[in-house]
Structure 1
Amino acid sequence: MSSPTELDILGIGNAIVDVLARADDAFLSAHRMTKGAMQLIDAEAAERLYAAMGPGIESSGGSAANTCAAAAALGARVGFLGKVAADQLGAVFRHDIAAAGVHFPTPPLAGGAPTARCLILVTPDGQRTMNTYLGACVAFGEADLDLAALRAARITYLEGYLFDPPAAQAAFRAASAVAHAAGRRVAITLSDPFCVARHREAFLAFLREEADILFANEAEIRALYQVERFEHAVALVRGDVDIAVLTRGPEGSVVVAGDAAYEIPAMPVRVVDTTGAGDAYAAGFLAALAQGRALPECGRWGAVAAAEAISHFGARPQADLRALVAPSPHR
Structure 2
Amino acid sequence: MGSSAYDVLVLGGSGVDTIVYVPELPLPYADSYMIRPGIEARAGQTGDFVALGVSALGLRTHHLDMIGDDQAGDLVRAFHRDRGIGLTEVPLPGGTKRAVNLVGPDGRRLSLYDDSRSRESDRLPEDLVRGLAADSRHVHVSITYPCSFALPLLHEAGPTVSTDLHDWDGENPYHEPFAYGSDVVFVSTTALSDPVATMRRVLERGRAEVVVATAGAEGSYLLTRAGGEPLHVPAVAPRRPVVDSNGAGDAYASGFLFGRLSGEPPERCALYGAVAGAFACTVPATASDAVDRETLLAEVAALS
Distance 1:232 1:113, change over 3 A: closer
Match of residue 148 from structure 2:
172
Gaps of 5+ in 1: 32-48, 223-227
- AA aligned to 2:20 is A
Is the contact made by 1:74 and 1:287 (CA closer than 8 Å) also made in structure 2?
yes
Which residue number in structure 2 is paired with residue 60 of structure 1?
43
Which letter maps to 1:65?
D
Q: 1:179 to 1:10 in 2, by over 3 A?
A: same
- Taking the aligned partners of 2:174 and 2:90, their CA distance within structure 1 comes to 28
* Percent of residue pairs bearing the same amino acid type: 24
Residue aligning to 1:288: 259
User: Which residue number in structure 1 is paired with residue 272 of structure 2?
Assistant: 301
Paired residues of 1:84 and 1:136 also in contact (CA < 8 A) = no
Superposition deviation, residue 19 in structure 1: 1.7
Q: Residues 276 and 315 of structure 1 are in contact (CA less than 8 Å); yes or no, is this contact kept in structure 2? A: no
Deviation readout 1:22-58 (Å, 9 max, x if unpaired):
1134783439xxxxxxxxxxxxxxxxx9x99761233
Match of 2:218 in 1: 251
Q: Which residue pairs with 2:182 in the alignment?
A: 211
Whether the 8 Å contact between 1:309 and 1:316 is mirrored in structure 2 is no
Aligned position for 1:232:
197
SS at match of 2:196: helix
Rounded to whole Å, the distance in 1 between the matches of 2:66 and 2:290 is 28
Q: 2: CA distance between counterparts of 1:295 and 1:26?
A: 34
User: Could you say which residue in structure 1 is the equivalent of 2:166?
Assistant: 191
What is the TM-score when the length of structure 1 is the normalising length?
A: 0.77
Check conservation: 1:105, 1:146, Cα contact below 8 A. no
CA contact (8 A) 2:216 2:235 kept: yes
- How many residue pairs are counted as aligned between the two chains? 290
Q: Which residue of the other structure, out of 123, 127, 142, is the alignment partner of 2:124?
A: 142
Higher helix share: 1
> Equivalent residue for 2:102?
121
Deviations 1:164-216 (A, max 9, x none): x4xx2xx423x32222223211212112347x66xx123235433x2221110
- Give the conservation status (yes or no) of the 8 Å contact 1:214–1:245: yes
CA contact (8 A) 2:21 2:103 kept: yes
Q: Which residue of 2 aligns with 1:131?
A: 112
Q: Secondary structure at the match of 2:250?
A: helix
Deviation of 1:315 (Å): 7.6
Tell me the TM-score normalized by structure 2: 0.83
SS at structure 1 position matched to 2:236: coil
Which residue identity does 1:143 align to in structure 2?
Answer: P
